[in-house]
Amino acid sequence: MESLTQIRRIILTLLMSGFALLMIMPFIWMISTSFKSPADVFTYPVQWIPTNLKWEHHIKVWSGADTFATYYLNSLKISLISTIGAVFLSAFAAYGFARIQFKGRETLFLIYLSMMMVPPQVLFVPKFLMFEWVGIYNTHWALILPGMFTIFGVFMLRQFFLSVPSEISEAAFIDGAGHLRIFFRLVLPLAKPALATLAIIDFSWHWNDYENALVFLIDKDLYTVPLGLQNFILENNVDYNGMMAAATAGIIPMIIVFLVGQHYIIQGVAGSAVKG
Amino acid sequence: MHKSWMKRQSRLGYLFIGPNMIGVLLFFIIPAVYSFYLMFTDYKFMSPETHFVGLDNIRRMMNDDLFGVALRNTFVFLLAVPVSMGLAFIVAVALNKSVYWQKTLRALYFMPYITSGVAIAFVWMLLFQPTSGPINGFLRGIGIANPPGWLSTTEWSMYAIDIIWIWFMLGYNMIIYLAALQEIPEELVEAARIDGARPWQTIRHVIWPLVSPTTFLLLITGLIMTIKNFGIIQAITQGGPGNSTTVLSLFIYQNAFRYYEMGYAAAISWALFAIIMIFTVLQWIGQKRWVHY
């Protein structure tokens, strides 16, 4: 009996591994194609390991006039500043919503939640006109400034702060500490895992954000990775190896972030959806 | 005494929420109100004059054949959601307890979701290449003489997008299902086993009903997430060939930033809002049901 379940387990593992392999096949194909010669791109059966490795496509992506180095720097700048701002500003607001009684709190929170329903398409045109008017259209500020405000972040951290036992802050109140002190000294350090989760999820959003960059940026030297990638492919639309080298460059950072922050990402995604 | 304390609390509350509220006001609320106003104008970018046109944009939308096409394409796009969920449920049940390498496998399935973006769009574009791409190469290999033209044909393009989207959403759905499965008390599954239920009977009659609130939640949030998305489609097909992959969200983008018909785009974007609103109300009703579990 015991060995029968063992066998079942092994078969199921193999089956699921096969399916998992199918899931990541596009990535494997992408990386392998980026090292092939143009003639080998579509040979069938697929050459998973190229017979003669070519580095030139990767070199092309990283050199020349519009290089991925620029896109990386732009994306990094936008994603980092937005994420740091978003985490801090969300934490502040979430604490207010979760821990302080004040007039109009429920109404305000309801307005916040209702804003989550508004599709980004509703906001694109007015934001475009507003940014044009204040002169931040076609600058990184057009992505950074709105990026520092995330309703999801407030929502997620509020859930977390609500779960912090109130005895902790009550004790601090008796000792004469105010909300600001409690927030910085007690709640924020306790919330480190939640903050890290939000930071990683938010960073991945900013890094992958294509739509906003598409609407608000024109100059090539301002391009982020998704936009740079699109640009590269439009200009080299027959160079399939180059396309795949560029796609690899676009994906690698997120894969690294995922491998490092896997636990947080999965926990955060699961927690926010099920408890939210 | 008490009153002044309340006042102080209120002031503190606004102090904490204030900074965030300014941003929400500037980048969400004001644009939303502004867009609502634009819906009733003939505003075109760079045009000298703007007029109040009442319901003209909405009327135009109702009579616009392209709007109908976009709406239909959107529904075909939404088909990906239940399919992806079905696959995700199977994967989640399999990965919940009964396999080795659980963590690695979960990470592999989740990978597409984190690498969202234009990159994967271009990879799929080549995979789907009709004459010499690997997918059709495989289909020919198993004896299908005339495999579909995928992204290059109007009949298949939307389904090709669906396949990409199913692949993309699968990991996300799986993770949520896994979280739900872990909440199921061990005794229930054990009891079913002792009663002589076969594994698939346990899944069908015990596990599936118990995760039904999650199924519902995933369905609604998935529909909302999908209906808003246009990045992947914009990157791969720009809505083509013809208008066969122009979904509603992309249609709005095109009207606003390709044709600069911003008043009209605003009107369609509120139609999109209305659909999302319906989904949200459904979810709200469903959540009430969910509390009973």
3-state secondary structure of B261: strand
Query: Phi, psi (5° rounding) for residue B55?
Result: -95, 10
| pLDDT at position B267 over 50 | yes
Q: What is the pLDDT of residues B15-58, one digit of tens each?
A: 999 999 999 999 999 999 999 999 999 888 777 788 888 898 99
Confirm or reject contact between B116 and chain A (CB < 8 A). Answer: yes
Take residue B101 and report the two structure tokens written for it.
Answer: 């390498």
Whether B291 contacts B216, CB under 8 Å? no
Among candidate residues A158, A272, A256, the one with its CA nearest the CA of residue A207: A256
Among candidate residues B225, B227, B280, the one with its CA nearest the CA of residue B251: B227
Contact B31 A211 (CB under 8 A): no
| pLDDT at position A65 over 80 | no
> Which residues on adjacent β-strands are paired with residue B44?
B261
All residues of chain B having their beta carbon less than 8 Å from the beta carbon of residue A15 are 94
| pLDDT at position A2 over 90 | no
| Closest-CA residue of chain A to B269 | A122
Among candidate residues B19, B286, B23, the one with its CA nearest the CA of residue A115: B23
CA atoms within 13 A on the CB side of A114: 10
CA atoms within 13 A on the CB side of B168: 25
| pLDDT at position B291 over 60 | no
| Amino acid letter for position B268 | I
pLDDT of residue A275: 42
Dihedral sign, Cα of residue B115, residue B119, residue B124, residue B127: negative
Calculate how close chain B gets to A104, using CA atoms only, in Å.
9
All residues of chain A having their beta carbon less than 8 Å from the beta carbon of residue B88 are none
Q: State if pTM tops 0.90.
A: yes
| pLDDT at position B128 over 80 | yes
Other residues' Cβ atoms within 10 Å of the Cβ of residue B48: 5
Burial of A240 (0-12, 13-18, 19+ CB in 10 A): buried
Among candidates A9, A124, A128 on the partner chain, residue whose Cβ is nearest the Cβ of B100: A9
Q: With left for phi above 0 and alpha for psi between -120 and 50, is residue A223 left, alpha or beta?
A: beta
Calculate how close chain A gets to B260, using CA atoms only, in Å.
9
Confirm or reject contact between B265 and chain A (CB < 8 A). Answer: yes
Q: How far is CA A192 from CA A99, B162, B204, B258, in A?
A: 17, 38, 40, 44
| Closest-CA residue of chain B to A127 | B31
Whether B181 contacts B97, CB under 8 Å? no
Whether B260 contacts B45, CB under 8 Å? yes
Please state, in angstroms and rounded to a whole number, the distance separating the CA atoms of residues A173 and A256.
43
Restricting to A residues 51-110, those with a Cβ less than 8 Å away from any Cβ of B are 89-90, 92-93, 95-97, 100-103, 105, 108
pLDDT of residue B75: 96
Contact A10 B21 (CB under 8 A): no
| Amino acid letter for position B151 | L
All residues of chain A having their beta carbon less than 8 Å from the beta carbon of residue B27 are 123, 127, 145-146, 149
- DSSP string covering B164-181: HHHHHHHHHHHHHHHHHH
ipTM of the complex model: 0.90
pLDDT of residue B229: 92
Using only C-alpha atoms, chain A has a radius of gyration, in whole angstroms, of 24
Contact A226 B115 (CB under 8 A): no
Calculate how close chain B gets to A48, using CA atoms only, in Å.
11
Restricting to A residues 158-197, those with a Cβ less than 8 Å away from any Cβ of B are 178-179, 183
Confirm or reject contact between A134 and chain B (CB < 8 A). Answer: no
Contact A269 B23 (CB under 8 A): no
Q: With left for phi above 0 and alpha for psi between -120 and 50, is residue A126 left, alpha or beta?
A: alpha
What is the average pLDDT score of chain A? 89
Q: Under 8 Å CB-to-CB from B273, ≥6 apart: which residues?
A: A117, A118, A119, A122
Please state, in angstroms and rounded to a whole number, the distance separating the CA atoms of residues A159 and A164.
9
- pLDDT mean over B267-279: 94
Among candidates B99, B110, B252 on the partner chain, residue whose Cβ is nearest the Cβ of A9: B99
Confidence of residue B245 (pLDDT cuts 50, 70, 90): very high
pLDDT of residue A108: 93
- DSSP string covering chain A: -HHHHHHHHHHHHHHHHHHHHHHHHHHHHHHHHHTS-GGGTT-SS--SS-SS---HHHHHHHSSSS-HHHHHHHHHHHHHHHHHHHHHHHHHHHHHHHH---TTHHHHHHHHHHHTTS-HHHHHHHHHHHHHHHT-TTSTHHHHHHHT--HHHHHHHHHHHHHS-HHHHHHHHHTT--HHHIIIIIIHHHTHHHHHHHHHHHHHHHHH--HHHHHH---GGG--HHHHHHHHHHHTTT-HHHHHHHHHHHHHHHHHHHHHHHHHHHHHHHHHHHH-
What percent of chain B lies above the pLDDT cut of 70? 97
Contact A125 B109 (CB under 8 A): no
Please state, in angstroms and rounded to a whole number, the distance separating the CA atoms of residues A49 and A51.
6
Among candidate residues A250, A259, A198, the one with its CA nearest the CA of residue A228: A250
| Amino acid letter for position B208 | W
What percent of chain B lies above the pLDDT cut of 90? 63
pLDDT of residue A273: 56
Among candidates B27, B129, B265 on the partner chain, residue whose Cβ is nearest the Cβ of A125: B265
Q: Under 8 Å CB-to-CB from B53, ≥6 apart: which residues?
A: B40, B41, B42, B263
Q: What is the pLDDT of residues A231-263, one digit of tens each?
A: 888 888 788 999 999 999 999 988 888 888 888
All residues of chain A having their beta carbon less than 8 Å from the beta carbon of residue B115 are 27, 208, 251, 254-255, 258
Cβ pairs bridging A and B (under 8 Å): 277
Contact A23 B277 (CB under 8 A): no
| pLDDT at position B240 over 60 | yes
Please state, in angstroms and rounded to a whole number, the distance separating the CA atoms of residues A253 and B46.
39
